Chain A
């Protein structure tokens, strides 16, 4: 139940905030170096590292993707008629949250380790 609602929330969030930022990023890129620098400036400090907005948006969207992906894969199995036993159903619902938090953490550890050389 809760995971189903979260699936809708993360999907709706990516469809609105994610789409606007994705298209803004591409349009800035197509408009040239100055427009792209202005886009990057919203999310980064002078040093090039992410600012607070960059972290909130970046971690928020990456978690939204991994959560939507994990519960989406779970839904594919449910649609095929599998996993309706109460115990297994609840375990896989919880595991989508654990997996999405773990994948988000791994993704950011990788990114930050890389930028720190």
Chain B
């Protein structure tokens, strides 16, 4: 195997020489978001009540906790990419760098807090069942 043809090496990369992969990952996460967020909205709408005991017992089920963790991965990945594009399109001075940095910190911090909280409820409320 060689390194491929010249056209093969650049195909899909466009004039920016990068970004096609980000575009494709945005589509993939859009598809999983569609399924996961619709599942989440329907599950919440169908719950009998919204008090602590009801929600904790719901989240203690593997079939609620696991899709919700998948939702966090999919949605947070998607909004990180979406907001990156918005910042790159509208911020042209040094604030672009600062905002992109803050976005990365925000995404990782909120995702970690979300996943830890889901697991804590799932393991502690689940243990009492």
Q: Which residues from chain A sit less than 8 Å from chain B, CB to CB?
A: 8, 11-12, 14-15, 19-20, 22-23, 26-27, 29-30, 32-33, 36-37, 40, 62, 65, 69, 72-73, 76, 79, 107, 110-111, 114
Contact = CB atoms under 8 A, between A and B. Distances in A.
A23 B71 CA distance: 12
B82 A15 contact: yes
Given A12-B83, A65-B41, A110-B45, A30 B34 contact: no
B27 interface: yes
B113 A107 contact: no
Interface string B82-114: 110010000000000000000000100010011
Interface string B63-88: 00000000000001001001100100
Interface residues of B, number: 29
A107 B106 CA distance: 30
Sort A-B residue pairs by CB-CB distance and give the 4 closest, nearest first.
A30-B117, A15-B79, A26-B117, A30-B120
Interface of B: 27, 30-31, 34, 37-38, 41, 45, 50-53, 55-56, 59, 76, 79, 82-83, 86, 106, 110, 113-114, 116-118, 120-121
Nearest to A73: B34
B27 A79 contact: yes
A29 B30 contact: no
B64 to A, nearest CB: 12
A94 to B, nearest CB: 21
